[in-house]
Amino acid sequence: MNEYLPQVKEHRHAGHEIDPVFLNRWSPRSYKSDSIPDEVLNSIFEAARWAPSASNEQPWRFIVARTEEDKARFYPFIADGNRIWCEKAPVLVLIVSQTMGSRGAYNRAHAFDAGTAWGFLALEATRQGLATHAMGGFDPEKAREVLGIPEDYEAHAVIAIGYQGEKEALSEAMQEREKPSSRRALSETVFEGVFTKK
């Protein structure tokens, strides 16, 4: 994918030259229910597998729900505002990370590394023509209980993965939000030498 998607051109503009995949990745809420071929889904997780990791601990784990039975297991711990649209996505994924490192000490980088793996997954999904949307609106403790997640793992986000649907399939209120968001200018996030509060 080496060009900007039409809806991205309208709402996003890079200040410096970058590959279009970075702007083409955004978080829609409208999904087609079409299934994702195994080889495509495996490629997405393969990309996440190669994310950088402190001390190569690779603390991230992905719990995948593709069948109706598995997806139904996810629904009780997903917030109603997210469930209303994410149920149509063919794949739901909970990303968790192991908080303890292999040497028995707390891994301060576990969440940082899991976030990086999610970023790699999201970019490869975009490259493969898929949409992703990570949701913080879920109950981590209920997820732990329902999915049998050990105490030394922390749940971070539920991710919807699928082919983007028409925005008209959403409620009117959600249709208004169904567009790529912008980002702060570099001058607001990159500081020379010391932190600068803007």
How many CB atoms sit inside 10 A of residue 73's CB? Answer: 16
Q: What percent of the chain has pLDDT over 90?
A: 95
Nearest alpha-carbon partner for 53 in 97, 121, 113 = 113
The answer to whether 117 and 48 are in contact (CB under 8 A) is: yes
Distance CA 81, CA 1 (A): 32
Nearest alpha-carbon partner for 134 in 12, 53, 25 = 25
Position 7 scores a pLDDT of 86
User: pTM for this structure?
Assistant: 0.95
Residue 91 CB contacts under 8 Å (≥ 6 apart), including other chains? 36, 41, 64, 65, 66, 160, 161, 162
Q: Tokens 């309208």 sit at which residue?
A: 10
Position 82 scores a pLDDT of 97
Is residue 71 predicted with pLDDT exceeding 80? yes
User: Cα dihedral sign for 177, 179, 185, 190?
Assistant: positive
Rounded to 5 degrees, what are φ and ψ at 194?
Answer: -135, 160
Q: How confident is the model at residue 2 (pLDDT cuts 50, 70, 90)?
A: confident
Is residue 1 predicted with pLDDT exceeding 90? no
In this predicted model, what pLDDT tens digit does every residue of 121-175 receive, in sequence order?
999 999 999 999 999 999 999 999 999 999 999 999 999 999 999 999 999 999 9
Mean of per-residue pLDDT scores for the chain: 96
Position 6 scores a pLDDT of 87
The answer to whether 150 and 174 are in contact (CB under 8 A) is: no
Q: What percent of the chain has pLDDT over 70?
A: 99
For residue 109, what are its two tokens?
A: 């980088």
Residue 114 CB contacts under 8 Å (≥ 6 apart), including other chains? 59, 60, 95, 96, 97, 156
Q: How confident is the model at residue 42 (pLDDT cuts 50, 70, 90)?
A: very high
Is residue 56 predicted with pLDDT exceeding 90? yes
